[in-house]
Amino acid sequence: MGSTLGERVRKLLRGVPITKAAKEIGLSQSVLSDIIADKKKAGISATTLVQLCSYFQVSADYLLGLSDTPSVEPDVQAACKYTGLSQEAVEVLHRCQTGQDGGAYITVYDTEEAKETGRDYLTIISALLVHNESRNIWKSAALSIKVDKQQGDPRKEALDALLAKHGLEGVQEFTSALDGYILRKSNAAKFYRQDAADSLKKIVEELGGK
């Protein structure tokens, strides 16, 4: 959250000219322009808010920055609020569950093949969320992103605990090439990504063995 009304309206316009959108919404061009520029310091009228919501098919809470979920569907809003997932993520899970497209690779809708594929995807997603290795996937992925964003090189000491998981030999070999003092940022990020990938591989192998 945190976006202004003007920013959200601008995003929803998706390049549609203000003159065209204003006419279709039922507002004057100057009023819509002021909304987009956040010049309506005193806010907008309830009527204008309803017009915007109807035109964009989004909730008032989304336009007002009270929610990051555009959907007007109560179930979608509740799922996003309860899980913290984006609307897009919730809708992908729902499509898998209903077999509407069985995920990204099945294009024949509402067939048994699509539904079965969708169920397979959900089984994998569920395993990724609850498996013992999952925490390491999220942690290592998050650390990789954090390291990528850091300025300068992280010190070796900050990585010791994670490196130790792979054995002392690995620690010595990994650090000796860098003089044993500092792990370069690019190498540290790659290591975290590999650590996450290793955990993911374990989960997939376990599912395949069932």
Per DSSP, 182 falls in state B
* pTM of this structure: 0.62
Give me the chain's average pLDDT, please: 77
pLDDT in tens, 56-68: 999 999 999 899 9
Mean pLDDT of the region 89-97: 84
How large is the greatest C-alpha to C-alpha distance in the chain, in angstroms? 71
Take residue 9 and report the two structure tokens written for it: 């309206």
Taking residue 138's Cβ as centre, other Cβ atoms within 10 Å add up to 13
Take residue 209 and report the two structure tokens written for it: 């063995």
Of the segments 6-10, 187-191, 193-197, which one has the largest average pLDDT value?
Answer: 6-10
CB 134 within 8 A of CB 140: no
Check the CA dihedral 167-169-175-177 and report its sign: negative
Whether the per-residue pLDDT at 146 is higher than 90: the answer is: no
Per-residue pLDDT band for 7 (boundaries 50, 70, 90) equals very high
Mean pLDDT of the region 193-198: 85
Q: How far is CA 148 from CA 66, 90, 100, 141, 195, in A?
A: 31, 28, 37, 11, 15
pLDDT in tens, 113-139: 767 777 788 888 888 888 888 888 888
- Residues 86-116 as b/e (b if ≥16 CB within 10 A, e otherwise) read ebeebbbbebbeebbbbbeebeeeeeeebbe
Closest by Cα among 110, 86, 91 to 100: 110
Per-residue pLDDT band for 153 (boundaries 50, 70, 90) equals very low
From CA 11, how far away is CA 33, in angstroms rounded?
A: 13
